[in-house]
């Protein structure tokens, strides 16, 4: 009998419920429900609307019933680092504050006063970004210690939704590693580090790995929805799920392309050497205890903001066309500069950067878009060079996955700049990796190797060489 799994994939701008199942050896997908996600200002903080998001998850499940679909399982993935703290009655102590909130300004430097930067990297293997969970928690300790004193449970965003579904608390491993509070070698919460920072280690939950069956729905949800199903952990960090769907496993660099661009390789062990620290690479947990050795690059967030700054007058496709029509403009910005994390106006910030660095100033929407795409391609090239230097080898190809793989201009730019083949697809990599983990738990797919073979057969992959794109 066919098993049906639901991937709940929530990103920084939208969320979806996607149905997945196997048919004649191929993985089939069907979008059931789509909804908006955005940061909102609550008091002085930029927050996610967690209650509204959970309601949308339930709305999607209700649509399943309307469509006559009885899913066997559900798995949830979201962005990383953000969390909810619960009190002794399991009520949230704060809003779900966003990683783009400025509360972490200056916190990284304060943490370095407690533990040397080099030691922190050696123990956790996680790249330094000012919004990492460790700095969010330290900000609470410094500015709202009473909240941490009351906190009894630490749940990351997908952990929290899983708790609302099942009543069971667990911290999923791949997402937990993004906190910079998990030891890269023991794969456990680093209690020594938590003690050094004065953060209550008792609020952290038992770590569970992808493919774990967490439980079934709470009774009141079964009554509300009209059916029960198993809640299975995928890699709840969306990049972890996306990388699990990379069809090419060997000799390939992946770029998970969306709001962020995550560029790296899979490895059997963490690389915590000085050069990896200097280049600010991370060793995030992956499925089957693989390590995702990668660098976080600002990504298509910049073009999303550019689109918004132009009052959504142009679609993403139109911005690509406008950029393609510009031949005599060239300026490169450092996309990883913190000034582009959440500027008041992205277009103006790009222009200001070009003024300050003595470059041509983009004026038209096409020039601004071209600047963003060219800058992303250059940042990818730099990261690939660093990866190859660390591994002391050349990689043969690049696999671009996720929504950004539909940007043919950027794919071709990456091929041209890196002089490597670029394989683009699958588009729905995160949902695919999420569903694959569930189907492995349900014994429909044997292992990750078989899952990758199924992905390769099931979805279109386009190939770009430093010339013209060729369809496989």
State in Å, rounded, how far the first CA of the chain is from the last one: 32
Residue 470: predicted pLDDT: 52
**188, 207, 237: which is the final residue of a domain?**
237
294: helix, coil or strand? strand
| Residue 454 within any structural domain of the chain | no
Q: Which of 255, 239, 214 is nearest to 80 (CA)?
A: 239
Given this model, what pLDDT does residue 299 score? Answer: 86
Q: Is residue 460 part of a domain?
A: no
| CATH code of the domain in which 258 resides | 3.30.420.40
Instruction: Indicate the SS3 state at residue 433.
Output: helix
Among 9, 101, 190, 238, the active-site one is: 238
Q: In what order do the strands lie in the sheet with 96-97?
A: 40-42, 45-48, 96-97
**Is 462 within the bounds of a domain?**
no
The verdict on 358 and 217 lying in the same domain is: no
Check residue 153 and give its pLDDT: 98
From the list 3, 60, 68, the residue with the least C-alpha distance to 32 is 60
Same domain, 311 and 211: no
> Distance (Å, rounded) from C-alpha 362 to C-alpha 330?
9
Judgement on whether residues 265 and 193 belong to the same structural domain of the protein: no
Cβ atoms < 10 Å from Cβ of 10: 24
18: cis peptide before it, omega within 30°? Answer: no
pLDDT score, position 249: 65
User: Digits of tens for pLDDT over the chain (472 positions)?
Assistant: 899 999 999 998 899 999 999 999 999 999 999 999 999 999 999 999 999 999 999 999 999 999 999 999 999 999 999 999 999 999 999 999 999 999 999 999 999 999 999 999 999 999 999 999 999 999 999 999 999 999 999 999 999 999 999 999 999 999 999 999 999 999 999 999 999 999 999 999 999 999 999 999 999 999 999 999 999 999 999 999 999 999 976 779 999 998 889 999 999 999 999 999 999 999 999 999 999 999 989 889 999 999 999 999 999 999 999 999 998 999 999 999 989 988 999 999 999 999 999 999 999 999 999 999 999 999 999 999 999 999 999 998 999 999 899 999 999 999 999 999 999 999 999 999 999 999 999 999 999 999 999 999 999 999 999 975 555 5
**Contacts for 448-455: CB closer than 8 Å, 24+ residues apart:** 448/244, 448/287, 448/288, 449/249, 451/244, 451/245, 452/245, 452/246, 452/247, 452/248, 452/249, 454/22, 454/25, 454/26, 454/27, 455/27, 455/245, 455/246, 455/247, 455/426
331: domain range?
246-425
Residues 76 and 42 in one domain: yes
Q: Kindly state whether residue 11 falls inside one of the protein's structural domains.
A: yes
Same domain, 13 and 148: yes
Q: Within a domain: residue 445?
A: no
Which DSSP state fits 468?
S
Asked if residue 106 is part of any domain, the answer here is yes
- Look at residue 257 in the predicted model and tell me its pLDDT: 92
Q: Do 182 and 331 share a domain, yes or no?
A: no
Q: Helix, strand, or coil here: 175?
A: helix
Q: Is residue 55 situated within a structural domain? A: yes
Look at residue 463 and tell me if it is in a domain.
no
Q: Using an 8 Å Cβ cutoff, are 35 and 63 in contact?
A: no
Question: Domain check: are 229 and 341 in the same one?
Answer: no
Check whether residue 314 and residue 186 sit in a common domain.
Answer: no
225 and 296, same domain (yes or no): no
Q: How many domains is the chain built from?
A: 2
**Do 185 and 164 share a domain, yes or no?**
yes
219 shares its domain with 263: no
386 and 259: one domain? yes
Predicted pLDDT of residue 211? 98
Q: How many CB atoms lie within 10 A of CB 350?
A: 27
At residue 469, the pLDDT reads 52
Q: Annotated catalytic, 238?
A: yes
Helix, strand, coil percentages (3-state) for the chain, rounded to 5, are 40, 20, 35
Owner of token pair 């899983």:
162
Which DSSP string corresponds to 157-176? HHHHHHHHHHS---EEHHHH
Q: According to the model, what pLDDT value does residue 471 have?
A: 54
């Amino acid at each position: 009998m066919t098993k049906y799994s639901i991937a709940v994939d929530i990103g920084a701008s939208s969320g979806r419920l996607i149905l997945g199942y196997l048919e004649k050896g191929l993985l089939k997908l069907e979008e059931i429900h789509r909804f908006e996600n955005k940061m909102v200002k609550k008091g002085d903080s930029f927050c996610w609307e967690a209650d509204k998001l959970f309601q949308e998850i339930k709305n999607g499940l209700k649509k399943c019933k309307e469509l006559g679909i009885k899913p066997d399982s559900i798995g949830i993935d979201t962005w990383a680092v953000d969390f909810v703290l619960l009190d002794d009655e399991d009520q949230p102590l704060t809003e779900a504050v966003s990683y783009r909130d400025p509360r972490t300004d200056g916190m990284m430097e304060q943490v370095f006063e407690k533990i040397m930067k080099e030691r922190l990297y050696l123990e956790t293997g996680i790249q330094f970004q000012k919004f990492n969970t460790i700095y969010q928690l330290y900000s609470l300790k410094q500015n709202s210690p009473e909240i941490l004193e009351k906190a009894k449970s630490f749940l990351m965003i997908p952990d929290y939704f899983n708790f609302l579904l099942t009543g069971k608390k667990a911290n999923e491993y791949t997402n937990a590693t993004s906190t910079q509070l998990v030891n890269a070698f023991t794969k456990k919460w680093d209690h020594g580090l938590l003690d050094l920072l004065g953060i209550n280690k008792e609020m952290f939950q038992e770590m569970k790995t992808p493919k774990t069956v967490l439980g079934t729905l709470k009774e009141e949800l079964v009554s509300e929805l009209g059916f029960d199903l198993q809640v299975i952990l995928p890699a709840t960090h969306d990049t972890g799920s996306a990388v699990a769907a990379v069809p090419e496993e060997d000799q390939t660099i992946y770029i998970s392309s969306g709001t962020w661009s995550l560029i790296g390789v899979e490895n059997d062990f963490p690389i915590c050497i000085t050069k990896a620290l200097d280049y600010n690479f991370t060793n995030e947990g992956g499925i089957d205890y693989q390590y995702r050795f990668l660098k976080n690059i600002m990504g298509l967030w910049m073009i999303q903001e550019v689109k918004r700054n132009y009052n959504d007058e142009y679609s993403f496709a139109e911005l690509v066309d406008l950029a393609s029509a510009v031949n005599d403009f060239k300026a490169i910005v450092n996309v990883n500069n913190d000034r582009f994390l959440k500027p008041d106006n992205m277009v103006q910030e790009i222009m200001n950067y070009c003024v300050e660095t003595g470059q041509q100033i983009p004026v038209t929407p096409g020039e601004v878009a071209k600047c963003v795409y060219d800058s992303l391609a250059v940042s990818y090239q730099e990261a690939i060079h660093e990866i190859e230097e660390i591994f002391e080898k050349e990689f043969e190809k690049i696999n671009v996955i996720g929504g950004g793989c539909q940007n043919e201009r950027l794919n071709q730019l990456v091929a041209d700049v890196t002089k490597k083949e670029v394989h683009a697809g699958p588009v729905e990599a995160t949902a695919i990796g999420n569903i694959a983990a569930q189907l492995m738990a349900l014994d429909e797919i044997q292992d990750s190797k078989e899952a990758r073979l199924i992905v390769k057969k099931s979805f279109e992959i386009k190939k770009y060489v430093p010339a013209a794109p060729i369809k496989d």
